[in-house]
Each structure stands twice: as C-alpha cells, then as structure tokens.
C-alpha cells in the first residue's frame, strides 16, 4: 500500500480526490505542519457475501444463564501456561 502525507492547509487538496485515491488503495496521513492529525485509509470490503443458514447444522444459538455475571478475579490474574 502506498502512503502519502497531506498538509490540511494545502488549498489544492480536494476531499473527493483523496477519497477516490483511497478507494484505489492509497493511504493518506493528514498533518498540520509537522503534527500528524489523522489517517485516511481505504475500506476493506468483504470479498464474499454472508449466507443465511450456512451453519444451520450447528443448531440454535444459546447463552448460559450467567453470561452477564462478572468474571472471577482468577480470570484476570491467573497466568495460563502452555
């Protein structure tokens, strides 16, 4: 991916042009002088469509009765060894 830096005070910069270039895969870092302000990146679109019922063989979705209960302290403090 190509990255370009654009100063926000550059009067020649047009948002529509930046968006068109971002759509083509160019990333922009928007700066104010030497200070980075924001990054404009292309959106990644899904390459495939979701298919309803694709995993129907797994059965209905369920949630345990305590799904919203606080997690025990051990969850946050215990180190798991592999």
Which pTM value belongs to this model?
0.51
Q: If you average pLDDT over residues 53-81, what whole number do you get?
A: 83
What's the rounded Cα separation, in Å, for the pair 45 and 17?
Answer: 20
What confidence tens digit (pLDDT) does each residue in 4-38 have? 999 988 888 888 999 999 988 899 999 999 999 99
What's the rounded Cα separation, in Å, for the pair 36 and 28?
Answer: 11
Q: Which residue has the higher pLDDT, 61 or 35?
A: 35
Work out the pLDDT band at 79, boundaries 50, 70, 90.
Answer: low
Question: Which 3 state secondary structure label does DSSP give 28?
Answer: strand
pLDDT at 81 over 70: no
pLDDT for res 80: 62
Direct distance between the N- and C-terminal alpha carbons of the chain, in angstroms, rounded to an integer:
36
């Amino acid at each position: 991916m190509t990255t370009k830096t654009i100063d926000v005070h550059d009067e020649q910069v047009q948002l529509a042009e930046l968006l068109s270039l971002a759509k083509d895969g160019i990333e922009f870092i928007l700066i104010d002088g030497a200070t980075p302000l924001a990054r404009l990146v292309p959106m990644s679109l899904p390459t495939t469509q979701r298919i309803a019922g694709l995993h129907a063989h797994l059965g209905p979705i369920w949630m345990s009765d305590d799904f919203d209960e606080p997690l025990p302290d051990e969850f946050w403090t215990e180190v798991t060894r592999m």
